């Protein structure tokens, strides 16, 4: 598959920080192809036929399928692959370029990230193989039979669990998004595609044990206020979590989307803190230590703190605030011609449910409410749809989410006005897309 | 304690204990709720895993390290990624940047940004060097911590540090952190005649 060997990261790019919004050619090309294909355009010829529809609105019908299809396609003339041909199914070979979006030419990939190809995905569940990754010490290989979870510190009864023992306990399944807090950063180079920009978000169905249940089993001491979580990876990833969150909706997860966690997502155990920044959802979870104060680990002091223009930095900025983005049509894609376009995208909030998504097709002068696709779940991706008749003229389109707390997704300038551009984390700004008269879509923040 | 309970059940008190357990589960009564799954972690097991050191000095292991020895450890284990003088490379920049945090180009290093020297020991001990974490002795971790602090001008070249010294050392940016005030911006959900572009 042809990829653009372009490397936008400058010499001062820091691979250990949550990576910048990097252009990746594969993602861009793929997104464009997918959009054309979905629209019925002939990619190979590049010819787009437009014929005027005869209806009263004078809507323009675009079509790329002028050639007559075979009456009997090859797939109907011989049996296909037998049952069991693939004992673990994989996508069609024609989908081979729907892949994670990995920044090019980093000095190392042990502490790095890959993004979900948001522009190519439908629905709210991210396929496990396309879930975004952020690892700080690579992906470990862990034998679940050897793995243990220790729960200790300010508890009456320190406990040690095997994975099988945790699976014996009452099991809970919930759908939640996960998002890296540097998604994207505030500084240039800005990403070109939806994946480049906010591909460090994904959503899955998680199955595991209530952390509250485990803490109750151990018996909390009166001074308990925080729980430090540690991973069994080469980074021994360590984050402090407020006890309130642990007693609310936190899970110790062993499965994702119906199967055991993938290694990249923490096999065999991970912490899930719905709505909290991704880094705190410690993967390969092996230890929970109840404390009376945060441990001030490296990841919660020198990283994942938000520097302000004053020189002060915000610490313990846990919640991911409400965000939305149009994923179709989005950067790198091309609208095949004037006429009907269903604007589609995703919205989410770390503070609860999506209440509303508004869409503007005139550079923010007017907004109209989009339809929300059920299910609309707490701390989950939510799909929105907005029907649009594109008149073929250049414009800017954008989405804006309002969550159930009444919080309205802000403009980029509002965020940087308050936080400056070196705050790095928690950029949840409205993402405007520029539509050219050619139908090509690009980042209006370019 | 849990083993004792299991023995009690096996010994014939089955009905009584089972009823009590069921009640506890049904009422989710908090600390007394017991499924009887998992086992008690022994003090030795906890001690072996409990490697976190804290800013107030808790849980530091015995040992100490000198800047002089730290230089050798650093050159052998760290310099390839972090630069001969901590100027950075494949790995983070570790030194300098003092006074830059409030400028357009802030440089966040151990010296300019990290609030606690204890975190330096904790992180090196658990995660460095990148290719062989948890391979250094505690004395080597103390030493290389001392050396990184020395490179930042925070201890003299004659320094020998231990847990007490790391806890007592006041880092330049110790008071540089504030709480989370979000939501810190308020967007109006204007629907028509909006003046501001998205």
Mean per-residue pLDDT of chain B = 87
Report pLDDT for A66: 84
Strand segments, DSSP code E, in A33-145 are 49-52, 60-63, 112-114, 133-135
Domain co-membership, A302 together with A366: no
A279 lies in which domain range? Answer: 134-191+201-306
For residue A329, cis peptide bond before it (omega within 30 degrees of 0): yes
In a domain, A349, yes or no: yes
Element (H, E) at A198: helix A194-198
Q: Answer yes or no: do A428 and A348 share one domain.
A: yes
Given this model, what pLDDT does residue B196 score?
Answer: 59
**Would you say residue A329 lies in a domain?**
yes
* A215 and A261 part of one domain: yes
A51 and A61 Cβ atoms separated by less than 8 Å: yes
Quickly state the pLDDT bin for B4 (edges 50, 70, 90). Answer: very low
Q: What is the DSSP string of chain B?
A: -HHHHHHHIIIIIHHHHHHHHHHHHHHT-STT-----SEEPPHHHHHHH-----TT-TTPPS--EEHHHHHHHHHHHTHHHH-TTS--SSSPP-S--TT-TTSSS----TTTT-SBHHHHHHHHHHH-STTSTT-S-HHHHHHHHHHHHHHTTSS-TT-EE-HHHHHH-B-TTTT-EE----S--------SS--S--
**Tokens coding A351:** 């503070």
Q: Are residue B98 and residue B153 in the same domain, yes or no?
A: yes
The model carries a pTM of 0.87
How many CA atoms lie within 13 Å of A191's alpha carbon, on the beta-carbon side? Answer: 30
Please tell me whether residues B77 and B34 are part of one structural domain: no
Question: CB-based contact (8 Å) between B172 and chain A?
Answer: no
Q: What is the pLDDT of residues B143-191, one digit of tens each?
A: 999 999 999 999 999 999 999 999 999 999 999 999 999 999 999 999 9
Q: Would you say residue A151 lies in a domain? A: yes
Contacts across the A-B interface (CB distance below 8 Å): 205
d(CA A79, CA A389): 43
Last residue of a domain, one of A306, A340, A372: A306
Same domain for A295 and A359, yes or no, is no
Mean pLDDT in runs of 10 for chain A (446 residues)? Answer: 32 35 43 46 34 38 76 97 96 97 93 97 98 98 98 97 98 98 96 98 98 97 98 98 98 98 98 98 98 98 98 98 98 98 98 98 97 98 98 98 98 97 98 98 94
Q: Which residue of A has its CA nearest to B110?
A: A302
Tell whether B7 and B86 lie within a shared domain: no
Query: What CATH number did the domain enclosing A421 receive?
Result: 2.60.40.650
Domain boundary among A242, A276, A306: A306
If we measure between CA atoms, which residue out of B40, B66, B83, B32 comes closest to residue B158? B66
- pLDDT given at position A446: 77
Nearest to A408 among B2, B180, B189 (CB): B189
**From residue A12, how far is each of A107, B4, B128, B166, B185 by CA, in Å?**
11, 60, 22, 30, 30
A227 within some domain: yes
Q: Are residues B125 and B160 in the same domain?
A: yes
Domain of B152 in residue numbering reads as 65-168
Indicate whether B55 belongs to any domain: no
Nearest to A159 among B38, B50, B191 (CB): B38
The answer, for A415 touching chain B at a CB cutoff of 8 Å, is yes
Write out chain B residues lying below 8 Å of A432, CB-based: 197-198
Return the residue of A nearest to B128 by Cα.
Answer: A235
A302 and A327 co-located in one domain: no
What is the per-residue pLDDT for A62? 52
Distance from CA of B60 to the nearest CA of A (A): 13
Cα A104 to Cα A101, A330, A333: the distances in Å are 9, 21, 21
| Chain B residues within 8 A of A298 when measuring between CB atoms | 119, 122-123, 127
**Domain count of the fold of chain B:** 2
Q: Given an 8 Å threshold on Cβ–Cβ distance, is B38 in contact with A160?
A: yes
Q: Please answer yes or no on whether A297 and B122 come within 8 Å at the CB atom.
A: yes
Q: Is residue B176 part of a domain?
A: no
d(CA A247, CA A251): 10
Asked if A153 and A281 sit in the same domain, the reply is: yes
**Cβ contact A35:A43 at 8 Å:** no
Q: What is the CATH number of the domain that holds B154?
A: 1.10.760.10
pLDDT at A187: 95
Do A160 and A264 lie in one domain? The reply is: yes
B186 belongs to a structural domain: no
Share of chain B above pLDDT 90, in %: 81
Count structural domains, chain A.
2
Please indicate, yes or no, if residue A113 is contained in any of the structural domains. Answer: no
Exposure of A411 by Cβ count < 10 A (0-12 exposed, 13-18 middle, 19+ buried)?
buried
Alpha helices in B50-189 (DSSP H): 67-77, 79-82, 117-127, 138-151, 163-168
Q: Is A66 a member of any domain?
A: no
CATH code where residue A175 lies: 3.90.420.10
Considering the domain architecture, whether residues A300 and A331 belong to the same structural domain is answered as no
Asked if the structure places residue B130 within a domain, the reply is yes
Residues B72 and B31 occupy one common structural domain? no
Q: Which of residues 162-201 of A touch B (CB under 8 A)?
A: 162, 165-166, 168-169
Q: Is residue B92 part of a domain?
A: yes
Q: Both A265 and A371 in a single domain?
A: no
> Are residue A349 and residue A398 in the same domain, yes or no?
yes
Q: Where are the beta strands (DSSP E) in A224-328?
A: 226-231, 238-242, 251-256, 259-260, 270-272, 285-291, 306-307, 313-314, 323-328
Quick check: B198 contacting A, CB < 8 Å? yes
Question: B71 in helix, strand or coil?
Answer: helix
B51 in a domain, yes or no? no
- Give the nearest chain B residue to A170 (CA atoms): B35
**Residue B177 included in any domain:** no
pLDDT tier at B34, thresholds 50, 70, 90: confident
Residues A261 and A341 in one domain: no
* B59 min Cα distance to partner chain A (Å): 11
Which of A306, A334, A355 marks a domain boundary? Answer: A306
């Amino acid at each position: 598959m042809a990829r653009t060997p372009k490397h936008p990261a400058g010499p001062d790019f820091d691979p250990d920080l949550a990576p910048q919004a990097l252009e990746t050619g594969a993602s861009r090309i793929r997104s464009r192809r997918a959009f054309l294909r979905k629209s019925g355009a002939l990619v190979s010829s590049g010819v787009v036929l437009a014929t005027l529809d005869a209806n009263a609105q004078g809507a323009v019908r675009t079509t790329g399928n002028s050639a007559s299809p075979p009456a009997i396609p090859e797939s109907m003339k011989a049996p296909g692959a037998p049952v069991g041909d693939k004992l673990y199914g994989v996508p069609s070979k024609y989908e081979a370029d729907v892949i994670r979006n990995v920044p090019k030419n980093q000095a190392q990939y042990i502490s790095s990230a890959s993004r979900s190809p948001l522009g190519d995905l439908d629905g709210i569940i991210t396929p496990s193989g396309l879930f975004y990754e952020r690892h700080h010490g690579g992906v470990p290989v862990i034998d679940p039979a050897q793995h243990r979870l220790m729960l200790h510190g300010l508890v009456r009864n320190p406990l040690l669990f095997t994975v099988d023992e945790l699976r014996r306990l009452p099991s809970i399944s919930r759908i939640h998004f996960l998002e890296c807090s540097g998604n994207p950063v505030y500084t240039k180079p800005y990403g070109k595609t939806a994946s480049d920009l906010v591909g460090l978000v994904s959503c899955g169905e998680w199955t595991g044990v209530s952390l509250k249940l485990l803490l109750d089993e151990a018996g909390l001491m009166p001074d308990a206020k925080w729980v430090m979580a540690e991973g069994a990876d080469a980074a021994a990833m360590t984050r402090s979590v407020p006890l309130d969150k642990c007693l609310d909706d936190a899970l110790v997860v062993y499965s994702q989307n119906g199967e055991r966690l993938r290694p990249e997502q923490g096999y065999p155990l991970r912490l899930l803190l719905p709505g909290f920044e991704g880094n705190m959802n410690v993967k390969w979870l092996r230890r929970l230590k109840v404390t009376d104060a945060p441990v001030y680990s490296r990841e919660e002091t020198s990283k994942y703190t938000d520097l302000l223009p004053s020189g002060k930095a915000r610490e313990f900025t846990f919640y991911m605030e409400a965000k939305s983005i149009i994923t179709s049509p989005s950067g790198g894609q091309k609208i095949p011609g004037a006429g009907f376009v269903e604007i589609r995208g995703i919205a989410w909030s770390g503070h609860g449910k999506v209440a509303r998504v508004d869409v503007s097709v005139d550079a923010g002068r007017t907004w109209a409410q989009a339809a929300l696709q059920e299910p609309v779940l707490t701390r989950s991706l939510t799909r929105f749809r907005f029907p649009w008749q594109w008149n073929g003229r250049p414009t800017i389109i954008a989405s804006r989410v309002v969550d159930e707390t009444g919080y309205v997704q802000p403009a980029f300038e509002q965020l940087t006005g308050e936080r400056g551009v070196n705050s790095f984390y928690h950029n949840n700004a409205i993402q405007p897309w520029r539509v050219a008269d050619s139908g090509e879509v690009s980042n209006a923040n370019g | 304690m849990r083993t004792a309970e299991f023995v009690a059940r096996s010994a014939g008190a089955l009905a009584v204990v089972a009823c009590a357990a069921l009640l506890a589960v049904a009422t989710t009564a908090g600390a007394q709720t017991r499924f009887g799954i998992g086992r008690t972690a022994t003090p030795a097991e906890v001690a072996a895993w409990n490697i976190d050191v804290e800013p107030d000095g808790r849980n530091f292991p015995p040992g100490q390290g000198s800047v002089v020895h730290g230089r050798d450890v650093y050159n052998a284990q760290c310099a390839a990624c972090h630069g001969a003088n901590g100027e950075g490379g494949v790995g983070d920049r570790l030194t300098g940047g003092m006074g830059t945090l409030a400028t357009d180009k802030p440089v966040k290093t151990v010296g300019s940004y990290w609030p606690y020297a204890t975190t330096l020991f904790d992180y090196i001990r658990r995660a460095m060097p990148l290719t062989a974490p948890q391979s250094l002795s505690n004395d080597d971790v103390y030493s290389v911590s001392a050396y990184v602090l020395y490179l930042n001008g925070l201890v003299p070249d004659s320094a020998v540090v231990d847990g007490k010294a790391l806890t007592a050392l006041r880092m330049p940016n110790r008071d540089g952190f504030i709480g989370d005030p979000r939501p810190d911006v308020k967007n109006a959900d204007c629907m028509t005649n909006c003046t501001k572009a998205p």
